[in-house]
Structure 1
């Protein structure tokens, strides 16, 4: 059983295609961020990450770069812990509402496209 504070990652899907080296971070069934391999001009491995929660403005320290996937995941978790500590039940309910409306809008869009 997964507890309410578990973070999971799943491949990002864009246009029906799974993206290699690109992941959504999921909490309580909601997408709360993304970690993806970035193109670096120096050819060094670089992983970009950012945290968000629907209905809440993002702050400058809620995104960044890691030198590896593990580094990006650790930085993400730190940022998420700061965000989570400040959330109220009303914030979480509002975010769930945003997520539900977004899923409904995407479903309508997909039905129109068929």
Structure 2
């Protein structure tokens, strides 16, 4: 298994599209094909014109650590998402981080929980499912209650 906290991930940015509409000054941040954050211009209020940022992964203790905020520039906002992504990778999964998890286990959804259970209960099936997700043989979203067995 790869030591994921040591792996380097290329962060990419894409304009946010909601309901077919591309939003101006609004970007999702991705690592290994997984959306990990979002940065966008704050449109109204006391921080109008600043760049809001949020890191989207993690649960439990990790989410209480201030994983969103604002910055003066788009680059500073992107740096905050990058910082929290590294923190996520170095935080044990039992504390809400991603240490030891595969990228397919990062999103906070039912599929990730199934993968984490398989990691312990059936490591061979876990490996096969990860490969199936990566090659497209297994779809990520199969509907509520779907499982791998």
Using structure 1 for the length normalisation, give the TM-score: 0.71
Which ranges in structure 2 are unaligned for 5 or more consecutive residues? 1-6, 92-97, 113-138, 144-149
Which residue does the alignment assign to 1:79? Answer: 84
1:7-53 deviation per Cα after TM superposition (whole angstroms, max 9, x unaligned): 11000000101110000000111101100111243475211111122
- Give the 5 Å matches for 1:18-97: 18-42=22-46, 44-53=48-57, 56-57=59-60, 58-86=63-91, 87-90=98-101, 92-95=103-106, 97=111
SS at match of 2:106: helix
Instruction: Give the superposition deviation at 1:62.
Output: 1.0
The 3 A distance-change label for structure 1 pair 44 and 94 is closer
RMSD, aligned CA: 2.6
Count of residue correspondences: 100
Indicate the SS of the match to 1:75.
Answer: helix
Identify, as 1 or 2, the structure richer in helix.
1
Q: Could you tell me which residue of structure 2 aligns to residue 100 of structure 1?
A: 140
For structure 1, which runs of at least 5 residues remain unmatched after alignment?
A: 106-114
> In 2, are the aligned partners of 1:45 and 1:68 still within 8 Å (CA)?
no
**Which secondary structure does the structure 2 equivalent of 1:89 belong to?**
coil
- Structure with the larger strand share: 1
Task: State which structure, 1 or 2, has the greater radius of gyration over its C-alpha atoms.
Answer: 2
Contact 1:35 1:50 in 2 (8 A): yes
